[in-house]
Amino acid sequence: MPLVRTEKSHGYGKVDALHLRLRFPHPLTLLVGFIGLAAVMSYVLPAGQFDRRDDPVTGRKVVVAGTYHAVPQSPVTPFQAVVAIPKGLAAAGPVIFLVFLIGGAFGVVDQTGALRRGVEWMVQRLRDRELLVIPIVCLAFGTAGALDNMHEEIIPLVPVLLLLTARLGFDPLVAAAMSVGAAGVGSAFSPINPFQVGIAQKLAGLPLLSASGFRLVFLALALALWIAATSRYARATRTARPGHTNEEDNPLDIRDGLVLITILITFAIFIVGVMKYGWDFDQMSALFFIMGIVVGQIGGLGIGRTAEAFIEGFRSMAFAAMLIGFARAIFVVAEQGHIIDTIVNGLFAPLSHFPLGVAAAGMMVAQFLVHFPVPSVTGHAVLTLPVLVPLSDLLGLSRQVTVLAYQYGGGLCDLVTPTSGGLMAILAASKVPYGKWIRFIAPVYAGLFLLGLVAVGTAIVIRLL
C-alpha cells in the first residue's frame, strides 16, 4: 500500500496539515489479494489438522486437544484459488440472497418516498439536539450486539441510517460507526452473547453467564469509549444540513404512515423470529421480500412499478453482496490447503513457555490473528477453545481468563478484518471506503484492545472464576 503525501484538513480540527496517508486498495482488490495470499500459504505452511469429535454440549464438531498431526501437503493451485471464488459465493448464498432481497425491499420503500419524509419529520423534532442521535443509536446497536451477536442483520437498517445521517449533515461513516461498529463492540465485550461467550463457556466447562458482572463493567467502558470517538468524529466532519428538501413540502400522510408502520412491524417480526424461533437467513430474506411487496401496494406503486423498484434495489446492493462471497472464498482456500489448524497450533503451542500474564496477553493477540482466516465467532470458538483450555489448566490460568482472551481478541478483530463479509458489505452499502474506516477506527481500536488487555490482567489478579 503506497504512502502518498497529501494536504487536507485535520480529521478532528479545521486546520491545514501535511501528513502521510495510507492509500488502501479497492475492497475487491484487497479480498482477491487475501485469496491469493491464502493460496501461497498453502505452499509455505505445512499441512496439518486436529482430530475432531461431536460435542454433545454444544452440538458441534470440536477439535481434540493434543491431536494435531501432519497430513499430506495440499497446495492450492492458482486455478483452484480462482475456483474458490464461486465456491465462496455458493457457501455464502443465504447471506448474499438476504442482501439482494433487502436491497430490493428498500428500493421499493425508497420509491414510495415515505421513509425520506419520515426521516424529515424526525429531523425537525431533533433540531438543535442532533448529536443525541449518536449515543442513542450506538447504545441500541451495542445492546443488540451484546444480546445476539448482531452483524449481517444490520444490513436492512443501512438505508434508514444513511438517510438519517445525511439529513443531519453527518458523514456516511457515522452511520457505519453507529451500527456495525457499536454492535461489534457490544458483541466483543458482551456478558451474554450466546454465539460467542455462551458457546465459549460451554466449551470451557464454565457455568453459563458466569462472571457477567465483571464483563458488564468493561462493556460499559468500551461502549462509552466508542460513543465518544464516534461523536467526536461526527462533530469534526459535520457539514451544513440541507436547508430545504422536497419532503418538507410534502408532509407525512396516511399512506406514508402505513408504509412506516409496515416497516416497523417487519422489524418486530424479524427480531422475534431471530431471537425466539432461531430464524436463519432464508426466513429473513422471505420476510423482507414480503415487506417489499406489501409496501409497494400500500405506497400506490402497483405491481409493475414495485417490480421495477425491486430490480433497482438489487442493483444497488450487488457490490455489497458479492464482497460477502469473495470474503468467504478466503476461508475456502485456507481450508482446502489444510493450513487453518496449522496456524492455530503454531500460534498457541509456544504460549506454554511464557509467564502467566504474558501467556494470557499472547492468547488474546493470537485469537485476534486466528480470526482473520476464521471470521465466524462460533467456528473460531470450536477451533481454538478445546486447544486453549487444557493449556490454561497446565499453566494454572483460570478458564474464565481464557474465554476472555478469546472473546476480546476474536471479537474486536470483527471490527477491522476484511475477511468479514458482513463488515465489508455494510461498509460498501454505506459507501464508506475500507481505508477510510481503518483510519477512523485505528486510535479508538487501540484503546479498545488495551481495555481488553486490562480486563484480562484484572481477571488474573482477582482470580476471576
Summarised one tens digit per residue, pLDDT across range 401-427 is 999 999 999 999 999 999 998 899 999
For residue 346, is pLDDT > 50? yes
Mean pLDDT across 69-82 = 95
**Angle, CA 348 vertex, CA 342 and CA 354 arms, to 5°:** 145
Distance (Å, whole) CA 386 – CA 354: 20
CB 377, CB 410: distance < 8 Å:
yes
pLDDT at 243: 53
C-alpha cell read off for 171: 458523514
Enumerate residues 6+ apart whose C-beta is below 8 A from 127: none
Task: Tell how strand 52-55 and strand 3-9 pair up.
Answer: unpaired
pLDDT at 155: 82
For residue 272, is pLDDT > 60? yes
Mean pLDDT of the chain, nearest integer: 88
Mean pLDDT across 178-203 = 92
| E strand residue ranges, 123-169 | none
pLDDT at 12: 43
Determine the longest span between alpha carbons in the chain, in angstroms. 70
- Which pLDDT tens digit goes with each residue over 373-410? 999 888 899 999 999 999 898 888 999 999 999 999 99
Mean pLDDT across 104-112 = 91
**Range scoring the smallest mean pLDDT among 112-116, 274-278, 397-401:** 274-278
For residue 100, is pLDDT > 60? yes
Indicate the helix (H) or strand (E) that contains 20.
Answer: strand 16-22
Report pTM.
0.84
- Percentage of residues in the chain with pLDDT exceeding 70? 93
pLDDT at 150: 81
pLDDT at 7: 34
Q: How confident is the model at residue 11 (pLDDT cuts 50, 70, 90)?
A: very low
Enumerate residues 6+ apart whose C-beta is below 8 A from 315: 103
User: Higher pLDDT residue, 339 or 56?
Assistant: 339
Q: How confident is the model at residue 230 (pLDDT cuts 50, 70, 90)?
A: very high
pLDDT at 13: 42
**Range scoring the smallest mean pLDDT among 153-162, 199-208, 309-318, 333-342:** 153-162
pLDDT at 22: 53
Distance (Å, whole) CA 146 – CA 236: 29
Mean pLDDT across 219-238 = 95
